[in-house]
Amino acid sequence: MESSTISRDQLTEKNPEVPKGTLQLAQLFPDFQPMIEVSDDFARFLLPMHRKQWDSWEAFLLHYRGEELTLSRGFEELQVISHLQEHWRQNGVIAYPHQLETVKKVISQMRGRAILADEVGLGKTIEAAMILKEYMLRGLVKRFLILTPATLCRQWETELREKFEIPTLIARREYDWAHYDYLIASIDTAKKEIHRQQILDLYFDLVIVDEAHKLKSTATQNWQFVNSIQKKYFLLLTATPLQNDLKELFNLISLLRPGQLGNYRSFKSRYTHDKRKPKNPQELKGLLSEVMIRNKHGSNMGFTKRHVQDIPITLTNLEQSLYDQVSEFIRQSLRLDSSGMGGLPLLTLQREICSSTFAAVLTLFKLAQSMNIEEERQEQAASLFKLAQQIKDNSKMKVVIDLVKKTPEKVIIFTEFLATQSYIRTRLEQAGIFSLAFDGSLSASKKEFTKYEFKEYPKYQVLVCTESGGEGINLQFCNTMINYDLPWNPMRLEQRIGRIHRLGQARDVFIYNLSTRGTIEEHLLRLLHEKVRMFEMVIGESERVISKLSHGKSFEARIMEVVTQSGSQEEMNRGFTKLGQEIEGLLETEPDDLSDLL
């Protein structure tokens, strides 16, 4: 086979009969240099021509754009913005300024290896996905692995597919690792013996680890596994890179960029007074800023308003009698060392009776049947069990039904207990209101399907969530929440609200807190509202306050202490008053040394 190439000038000189259109093209585009290949191997052209298999104009433009991207080496202008602009417009996706700045900084200054440590609700997942897409568009990432808790795998898959047009596989089988390039996996699945070695034999252009604060100890299998993965670019996502100990921060950064903080001995000598108090903080902050980006909440972040209404509820005589008797039973049992019951079941019972009688009744039944407690305690528990069975409805539920019927919006109801969840759904159904259950028993795929049903089907007005079910889900399409009961850990309460009050929420958020008069709930709500003032803050600000309250002893433990040490209602009132004063004192002290680093 013979072949040669002819330039534009040669073409016009040797071939005066060149088609007119070619000469016009040359005149219009003087820099255009066509190269014509002369070959006797026409088979590869003739067959498609015979079948009229011409490329479309769209295909040409796509190929042209691809060539442009491969020629673009600078990162001053992000390709992902122009590439997804129309797709984002159609799907209501907004790239916020702080996210764009984060993407540029990670790619241009940090060389694709960074800790994304934005406060909760500011869009770390979106930032990581934008970095991934930018690298893919430039041909720099062709194989990636995203490691995340099992409950978040489906969420990552959905976000990447719907917002970034990146198809992925949630890897579960031995076959998956070597045969697919775009992978998501739970870290627990990936580190199993049957998968681990296959992953370690591969090279990934990018590895992303979500909830990376779980890698804070070098002694854990998770840290050692992630450290052993071969990778070019590396992103760690966590809202809490520093919790209780400076060594945790050292371990996380050493995983990302070994040597950034020296070895641990030199780090400890130069940068730590003790595990919570840093030395040379400004110098340390400078080193952290080279590998970590932490965007914080502020007035310019685009959050909608949060409207909170506390609804006090008066119990019926029978409900109040049961609550008082159960509380007294708990106090007496805790004082009796010989009971053998332990404090935890009793404190759980105290929280259950605040939630609903239906949550408490099963625990009372178990106590009545228990062989580990005195006969007198068994008889008391049996008596309380019979009293609880007489209550067929709870006062809180009447308020819930009124709230749901008054709003045209979809509503999320949170409770701590499955029995209360079941009772709420039964009463809603009796009132003609259709609901869906969302709890920890659902598989990841079932959770996604339930979210889809709640969002897309008008007949389902209410989603009834438990704490474990609501962990990690984003429900910005909904703007109304009812806290049927109040968790003793205020961070859990803030995490509930964060399901709907986060970046991307387009409407004001309405939160209704139910509390029963004359119970622990009333004291707890007053503490959170008047002393902590957490409902006045956006998520993130309250997280910092709650973290401060937890130094030495958790907020939940402080409440338990008041409950267990109170011999009467009057003593409990005094105990909560004292706790409120302690909270005010804590919040007036100097800022926390650890939080100042971030």
208 has which bridge partners? 146, 235
- What pLDDT, in 10s, does the model give residues 176-219? 999 999 999 999 999 999 999 999 999 999 999 999 988 988 99
Q: Which amino acid is residue 589, in one-letter code?
A: T
Q: Is the pLDDT of residue 35 over 70?
A: no
Give me the pLDDT at residue 60, please.
72
Give me the pLDDT at residue 244, please.
67
Q: Give dist(CA 296, CA 544) in Å, integer.
A: 11
Give me the pLDDT at residue 17, please.
46
Q: Is the pLDDT of residue 11 over 60?
A: no
Give me the pLDDT at residue 547, please.
62
- Using DSSP, state whether 334 is helix, strand or coil: helix
The closest alpha carbon to 509, from 415, 417, 422, 410, belongs to 410
pLDDT band at 269; cut points 50, 70, 90: confident
Q: Which residue has the tokens 């240099």?
A: 33
| Tokens linked to 122 | 């500011």
Give the residue extent of every domain in the chain.
3-54, 79-293, 306-310+392-597, 318-389
Instruction: Classify 503 in phi/psi space as left (phi over 0), alpha (psi -120 to 50) or beta.
Output: beta
Q: Give dist(CA 5, CA 37) in Å, integer.
A: 5
pLDDT band at 30; cut points 50, 70, 90: low
Q: Is the pLDDT of residue 541 over 60?
A: no
144 has which bridge partners? 182, 206
The closest alpha carbon to 427, from 464, 479, 385, belongs to 464
The closest alpha carbon to 484, from 319, 322, 359, 307, belongs to 359
Q: Is the pLDDT of residue 434 over 90?
A: yes
- What pLDDT, in 10s, does the model give residues 356-385? 999 999 889 988 887 777 888 888 889 999
Q: Is the pLDDT of residue 67 over 70?
A: no
Give me the pLDDT at residue 524, please.
85
Average pLDDT over residues 287-300: 83
pLDDT band at 487; cut points 50, 70, 90: confident
| Tokens linked to 577 | 């008053």
Q: Decide yes or no: CATH 3.40.50.300 for domain 306-310+392-597.
A: yes
Task: Report strand pairing: 460-466 vs 411-415.
Answer: parallel
Give me the pLDDT at residue 8, please.
45
pLDDT band at 15; cut points 50, 70, 90: very low
State which of 133-147, 267-281, 299-313, 497-511 shows the largest mean pLDDT.
Answer: 133-147
Give me the pLDDT at residue 532, please.
66
Position with higher pLDDT, 216 vs 113: 113
Q: Is the pLDDT of residue 21 over 50?
A: no
Q: For the stretch 33-66, what's the b/e string if a residue is b when 16 or more beta carbons lie within 10 angstroms of its beta carbon?
A: eeeeeeeeeeeeeeeeeeeeeeeeeeeeeeeeee
Average pLDDT over residues 494-514: 85
Give me the pLDDT at residue 358, please.
92
Position with higher pLDDT, 299 vs 25: 299
Interaxial angle between packed helices 246-256 and 264-271, expressed in degrees from 0 to 180 and rounded to the nearest 10: 130
State which of 5-19, 62-76, 524-538 shows the largest mean pLDDT.
Answer: 524-538
- What pLDDT, in 10s, does the model give residues 569-585? 788 888 888 888 877 77
Give me the pLDDT at residue 305, please.
86
Give me the pLDDT at residue 448, please.
83
Give me the pLDDT at residue 340, please.
45
pLDDT band at 3; cut points 50, 70, 90: very low
The DSSP 8-state label assigned to residue 272 in this structure reads: B
Phi, psi dihedrals of residue 319, rounded to the nearest 5°: -65, -45
Average pLDDT over residues 40-54: 64
Q: Is the pLDDT of residue 290 over 70?
A: yes
Give me the pLDDT at residue 594, please.
55
- Using DSSP, state whether 598 is helix, strand or coil: coil
| Tokens linked to 369 | 């049947």
Give me the pLDDT at residue 25, please.
47
Give me the pLDDT at residue 339, please.
46
Phi, psi dihedrals of residue 231, rounded to the nearest 5°: -155, 150
Task: Report strand pairing: 36-39 vs 3-6.
Answer: antiparallel
Average pLDDT over residues 139-149: 95
- What pLDDT, in 10s, does the model give residues 387-432? 999 999 999 999 999 999 999 999 999 999 999 999 999 999 999 9
Burial grade of 383 (CB within 10 A; 0-12, 13-18, 19 or more): middle
Q: Are 125 and 210 in contact (CB under 8 A)?
A: yes
Q: Is the pLDDT of residue 46 over 70?
A: no
Q: Are 597 and 284 in contact (CB under 8 A)?
A: yes
Q: Do domains 79-293 and 306-310+392-597 have the same CATH topology?
A: yes
pLDDT band at 58; cut points 50, 70, 90: confident
Quick one: what percent of the chain has pLDDT higher than 90? 41
Give me the pLDDT at residue 5, please.
45
The class of domain 79-293 in CATH terms is alpha beta
- What pLDDT, in 10s, does the model give residues 72-95? 556 678 999 999 999 998 888 888
Q: Comparing 30-34, 190-194, 545-549, which segment has the lowest mean pLDDT?
A: 30-34
Q: Is the pLDDT of residue 36 over 70?
A: no
Quick one: what percent of the chain has pLDDT higher than 70? 79
- Give 95's contacts (C-beta < 8 A, 6+ positions apart): 81, 88, 126, 130
